[in-house]
Amino acid sequence: MWMLTFTDLVSLLLTFFVMLFAMSNVKIDEWDKVIDSLSQTLNPSPEETVRKPTAQLNIGTLFYRRAVNLDYLASVIEENLSNDPLLRDVLIVRLEDRLLVALPGDLLFDPGAAVISERAQGAMLTLGAMFDNVGNTIAVTGHTDPAPPDGTSYASNWELSIARAASVANAIRRGGYDEKIVAFGYADTQYNLLPNLDDADRRRLARRVDIIVMPTARAF
C-alpha cells in the first residue's frame, strides 16, 4: 500500500513543478537538478538494491576430492608399475575393504636406512604421481624383519619402520596427493603372519612398506 501512496505523492509533486514551470521562467540548470533527483528516487541503482551480507564472519567453501574406485586404481597402478624395471614386482592386493600396495624395502632403501635411495627416487615419483587427484583415505605402514638394526642411527625396528613409512608418505605427497596420510610403524610384529617361506624369502618379504588405500574419502 505504501507504494501506491508514494506514487500518488510523486505524481502530485510532478504536477506542482509543471505548474510552476508554466507560470514562471525556471532556470535550466536548476530544473535539471530536480529531474536528476527524481530519477535517482524512482530508479535506484542496482548497487543500492543489492542486499549486503550482515555477518562479520563467512564460512569458506571446502573442496574435497572424490574417492576413486579401488579396482580401477589397482589396474592403473599395475599398468604403470609394469613398465618400471625397479617396481614391476611390487605386490598389489585387492582386499575386500581396501587396496594394498606392498613395496619391498630392499628396493627402496639401503640396509638400515630410511631415506629413499637415489636409484628409487624416480620410481617413487612415478608411484606418487598416480595418487594425484585421488581423494581416498591413505595410510602407510612400515615393517621389518626380526633382526635388530645394526650399525644404523635407529635404536630399534620400531623407529626404523615408522621412519620408512614416513619417507614413502612424503613421496606420495610430493606426487600431488594433498590429503592427510597416516603413517604407522609395526616393526616385526606381523612377521609370524607371513606365508611359510624359506627364511631368506620370508625376511625379504617382511622388510616392506605397505600403502593402504581405503574405498572412501577422508571424512574428517
pLDDT digits (tens, 9 = 90+) for 10-47: 566 666 555 655 555 555 556 566 556 656 655 555 55
The pTM assigned to this predicted structure is 0.69
| Cell numbers standing for residue 70 | 579401488
Give CA separation, 39 vs 11, 45, 86, in Å.
13, 10, 77
CATH numeric code, 70-217: 3.30.1330.60
How wide is the angle at C-alpha 212 spanned by C-alphas 133 and 167, nearest 5°?
A: 80
**In 82-156, which ranges are continuous DSSP H helix?**
105-108, 118-129
pLDDT bucket at 220, cuts 50 / 70 / 90? very low
Q: For position 203, what pLDDT does the model report?
A: 92
Spatial distance between the Cα atoms of 130 and 137, rounded to a whole number of angstroms: 14
Mean pLDDT on 148-165: 90
Domain extents in the chain:
2-49, 70-217
DSSP state letters, 181-200? EEEEE-TTTTGGGS----HH
pLDDT at position 119 over 80: yes
How wide is the angle at C-alpha 37 spanned by C-alphas 31 and 42, nearest 5°?
A: 125
pLDDT bucket at 179, cuts 50 / 70 / 90? confident
pLDDT bucket at 64, cuts 50 / 70 / 90? low
Higher pLDDT, 101 or 125: 101
